[in-house]
């Protein structure tokens, strides 16, 4: 397996930044290499198993740590207005140009990475983009938080008021609060135990540097208090004209009503629901997941 790593240097608001990337396979061996965008926000490592697209299907893959996390430039101390979509758009522009794939590529984005890929597609209208894959990203974050309350009420009916009080009082390290969310996480975020190493490493990285998730999402579980709090795809979905694959897990907090805005808004879209998955089907049902994604990309050639 051919593999290489490097950094691309780029500029945003007059500041020089660096982004770490890994290329798996020969980018010129297949018409449409895949660029994998991790979620979190600020959760590196989690997309590493997407090298399966190359090892099992011959599709070259680029995996990168978005600026603000992992092996890329960290952003501690930056003002709130620094953390705009345009920051990560500029990063992706620089990466595509550096790797010389801007004329032919596909985007696969998980969770926040799906929102980023979709907004990039709508804003930039990249001529070389052949396909978009969105995995587990709710189409409306306000609906997503309502789903969380409903699922918590169903699974832990006597705990919701306590969890709300902990968040109101800032007691996010409370032992019972953490215990309930540990159970919730296992039921609605990732069902695999023990956690796969890339997932565990990604969680550790977010906890070690919460700058990006703190600005975009905020520290809470029952509400989004960051800059993404009112985000919804409905505004820009009609601007996405490339063939799109929507992937969701039936047990994810991103329930059907949070995913439907994607399906209703994007003109050329296919939706696949994974019956035994939560938020990360590439860990929970990897064989089926990578087969479906690979076939979707390959069928567009």
Which one is catalytic: 51, 65, 140, 252? Answer: 252
Q: Is 252 a catalytic residue?
A: yes
| Helices (runs of H) and strands (runs of E) counted in the chain | 11, 8
CB distance 36 to 101 below 8 Å: no
The residues, any chain, with a CB within 8 Å of residue 262's CB and separated by 6 or more, are 118, 134, 137, 139, 233, 237, 244, 246, 269, 271
The DSSP call for residue 301 is: -
Question: Domains of the chain, with CATH numbers?
Answer: 3-141+225-299 (3.40.50.1820)
CB distance 165 to 255 below 8 Å: no
Which one is catalytic: 111, 191, 248, 277? Answer: 111
- 10 Å CB burial of residue 103 (0-12, 13-18, 19+) is exposed
pLDDT tens track, the chain, 301 positions = 799 999 999 999 999 999 999 999 999 999 999 999 999 999 999 999 999 999 999 999 999 999 999 999 999 999 999 999 999 999 999 999 999 999 999 999 999 999 999 999 999 999 999 999 999 999 999 999 999 999 999 999 999 999 999 999 999 999 999 999 999 999 999 999 999 999 999 999 999 999 999 999 999 989 999 999 999 999 999 999 999 999 999 999 999 999 999 999 999 999 999 999 999 999 999 999 999 999 999 998 7
What was the pLDDT predicted at 300? Answer: 85
Q: Is 111 a catalytic residue?
A: yes
Longest Cα–Cα distance of the chain, Å, equals: 56
CA-CA-CA-CA dihedral for 274, 279, 280, 284, to nearest 10? -50
Backbone angles phi, psi at 89, to 5 degrees: -65, -45
CB distance 159 to 152 below 8 Å: yes
CB distance 268 to 105 below 8 Å: no
What was the pLDDT predicted at 53? Answer: 98
What was the pLDDT predicted at 301? Answer: 74
CA dist., res. 97 & res. 93, Å (int):
6
The residues, any chain, with a CB within 8 Å of residue 130's CB and separated by 6 or more, are 31, 32, 104, 105, 106, 242, 243, 297, 300
What was the pLDDT predicted at 202? Answer: 98
User: To which H or E segment does residue 248 belong?
Assistant: strand 244-249
> What are the strands, taking DSSP E only, across the chain?
3-12, 15-24, 34-37, 61-64, 105-110, 129-135, 244-249, 269-274
CA 215 to chain centre: 16
CB distance 27 to 77 below 8 Å: no
CA-CA-CA-CA dihedral for 171, 203, 248, 287, to nearest 10? -150
What was the pLDDT predicted at 109? Answer: 99
What was the pLDDT predicted at 282? Answer: 99
């Amino acid at each position: 397996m051919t593999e290489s790593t490097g950094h691309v240097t780029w500029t945003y608001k007059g500041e020089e930044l660096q982004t770490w990337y890994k290329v798996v396979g020969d980018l010129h061996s297949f018409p449409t290499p895949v660029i994998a965008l991790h979620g979190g926000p600020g959760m590196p490592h989690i997309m590493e198993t997407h090298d399966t697209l190359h090892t099992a299907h011959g599709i070259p893959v680029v995996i990168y740590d978005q600026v603000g996390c992992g092996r890329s430039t960290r952003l501690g101390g930056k003002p709130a207005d620094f953390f705009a979509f345009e920051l990560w758009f500029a990063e992706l522009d620089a990466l595509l140009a550096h790797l010389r794939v801007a004329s032919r590529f596909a985007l696969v984005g998980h969770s926040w990475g799906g929102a980023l890929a979709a907004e990039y597609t709508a804003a930039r209208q990249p001529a070389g983009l052949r396909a978009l894959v969105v995995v587990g990203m709710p189409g409306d974050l306000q609906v997503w938080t309502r789903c969380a309350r409903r699922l918590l009420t169903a699974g832990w009916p006597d705990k919701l008021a306590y969890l709300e009080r902990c968040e109101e009082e800032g007691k996010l390290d409370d032992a019972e609060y953490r215990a309930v969310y540990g159970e919730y996480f296992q039921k609605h975020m990732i069902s695999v135990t023990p956690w796969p190493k890339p997932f565990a490493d990604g969680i550790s990285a977010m906890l070690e540097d919460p700058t990006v998730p703190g600005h975009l999402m905020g520290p809470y579980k029952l509400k989004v208090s960051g800059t993404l709090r009112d985000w919804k795809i409905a505004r820009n979905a009609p601007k996405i004209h490339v063939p799109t694959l929507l992937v969701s897990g039936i047990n994810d907090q991103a329930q059907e009503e949070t995913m439907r805005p994607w399906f209703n808004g994007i003109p050329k879209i296919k939706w696949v629901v994974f019956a035994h998955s939560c938020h990360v089907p590439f860990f929970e049902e990897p064989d089926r997941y990578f087969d479906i994604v690979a076939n979707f990309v390959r069928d567009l050639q």
